[in-house]
């Protein structure tokens, strides 16, 4: 794959790359650059996680070595449970990410396997010496469970995340746009500790099915373990205002999950409403929806159909490993 092809694949559906010039230099300089994403172990893997998993698959296809940090220490600091509970969830998460399509050469790393070592802890303390409380607080705000009354452990969280990039020998840090402040902290302060600044790639944050921020407490997401019937039920209820492309969760699902994985998307319709219509790219579908040629009910049905195709193998694999 030539450089331009790699860059097109890497940048697909990214909301920001810091910086594109550095990304090009990285791709041209390194034969096997390293990219990573860190995940707090989560009980449900959903379409929000799939945003970055999709990008990791793009990066694998573009020749990157992919590292996945299962951040058990981060989860503990962020009050997500005790270590025993978190470790069980981390094992499930690894199986889920592989089931979703990450190749076997992806390296899964448990945070506690290196984050308690002397050199790592010393680097976190060094990072603490050059980071103001205000900067740490701003970096923490997007990931903390207790923004209004945070505990000190949650201030340590972004410092560790920056140091992770150095100790995992990462060239490209990948995350949702909510990770931007932490990534910028890493770019600014890692050189002061003698490490290189990473290139950073940010993916959009997927809306919940109700049009609000996706939240496990609200249940406004589609899990990789949802049955076909559950996916169809959730999609029928999803927020999808006619002719509205922006801030439309069903449109986002088509853009970020369906079109990157299917060359042709067929929206099935009754002959009375024009019959089936075929799309080879997202832009055509968005144009028809915005003009009113495509009805929300038909769009929702198509989204459910293709999501079930996408989740068929992961759902089956996860059932096998869990049973």
DSSP codes, 274-304: T--EEESSHHHHHHHHHHTSS-HHHHHHHHH
Residues 161-180: b if buried by 16+ CB within 10 A, e if exposed: bbbbbbbbebbbbbbbeebb
- Look at residue 172 and give its three-state secondary structure: strand
Q: Is-cis flag, bond preceding 234, omega within 30? A: no
Would you list the domain boundaries of the chain? 3-203, 228-322
CATH superfamily of 3-203: HUPs (3.40.50.620)
**What are the helix and strand counts (H, E) for the chain?**
13, 8
**Cβ count within 10 A of residue 273:** 12
pLDDT in tens, the chain (323 residues): 899 999 999 999 999 999 999 999 999 999 999 999 999 997 788 898 899 999 999 999 999 999 999 999 999 988 888 999 999 999 999 999 998 889 889 999 999 999 999 999 999 999 999 998 888 888 876 555 455 677 787 788 899 999 999 999 999 999 999 999 999 999 999 999 999 999 999 999 999 999 998 877 778 999 998 999 999 999 999 999 999 999 999 999 999 999 999 999 999 998 988 899 999 999 999 999 999 999 999 999 999 999 999 999 888 887 765 55
What pLDDT was estimated at residue 147? 59
What pLDDT was estimated at residue 292? 96
What pLDDT was estimated at residue 250? 98
What pLDDT was estimated at residue 162? 96
What pLDDT was estimated at residue 146? 53
Options 3.40.980.10, 2.60.40.420, 3.30.70.360, 1.10.240.10; CATH of 228-322: 1.10.240.10
d(CA 141, CA 233): 34
Q: CA of 220: how far to CAs of 209, 217, 237, 298, 321, in Å?
A: 5, 8, 10, 20, 26
pTM: 0.89
Bridge partners (DSSP) of residue 202 are 16, 175
Q: CA of 293: how far to CAs of 275, 284, 297, 302, in Å?
A: 12, 11, 12, 15
What pLDDT was estimated at residue 321? 59
């Amino acid at each position: 794959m030539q450089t331009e092809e790699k860059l097109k694949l890497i940048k697909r559906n990214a909301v920001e790359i810091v910086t594109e010039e550095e990304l090009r230099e990285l791709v041209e300089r390194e034969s096997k650059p390293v990219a990573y994403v860190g995940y707090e172990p989560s009980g449900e893997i959903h379409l929000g996680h799939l945003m970055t998993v999709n990008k990791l698959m793009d990066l694998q296809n573009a020749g990157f070595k992919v590292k996945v940090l299962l951040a058990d220490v981060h989860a503990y600091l962020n009050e997500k449970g005790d270590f025993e509970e978190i470790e069980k969830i981390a094992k499930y998460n690894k199986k889920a990410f592989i089931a979703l399509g990450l190749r076997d050469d992806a390296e899964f790393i448990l945070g506690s396997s290196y984050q308690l070592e002397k050199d790592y802890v010393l680097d976190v303390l060094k990072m603490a010496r050059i980071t103001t409380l205000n900067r740490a607080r701003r970096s923490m705000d997007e990931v903390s469970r207790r923004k209004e009354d945070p505990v000190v452990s949650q201030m340590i969280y972004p410092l560790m995340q920056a140091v992770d990039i150095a100790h995992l020998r990462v060239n490209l840090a990948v995350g949702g746009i909510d990770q931007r402040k932490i990534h910028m902290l890493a770019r600014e302060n890692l050189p002061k500790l003698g490490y290189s600044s990473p290139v950073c790639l940010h993916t959009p944050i997927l809306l919940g099915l109700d049009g609000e921020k996706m939240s496990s407490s609200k249940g406004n997401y589609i899990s990789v373990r949802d049955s076909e019937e559950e996916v169809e039920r959730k999609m029928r209820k999803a927020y999808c205002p006619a002719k509205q492309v922006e801030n439309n969760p069903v449109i986002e699902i088509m853009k970020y999950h369906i079109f990157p994985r299917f060359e042709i998307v067929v929206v099935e319709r009754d002959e009375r409403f024009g019959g089936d219509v075929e799309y080879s790219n997202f832009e055509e579908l968005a144009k028809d929806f915005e003009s009113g040629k495509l009805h929300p009910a038909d769009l929702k049905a198509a989204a459910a159909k293709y999501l079930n195709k996408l989740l068929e193998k992961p759902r089956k694999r996860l059932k096998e490993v869990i049973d």
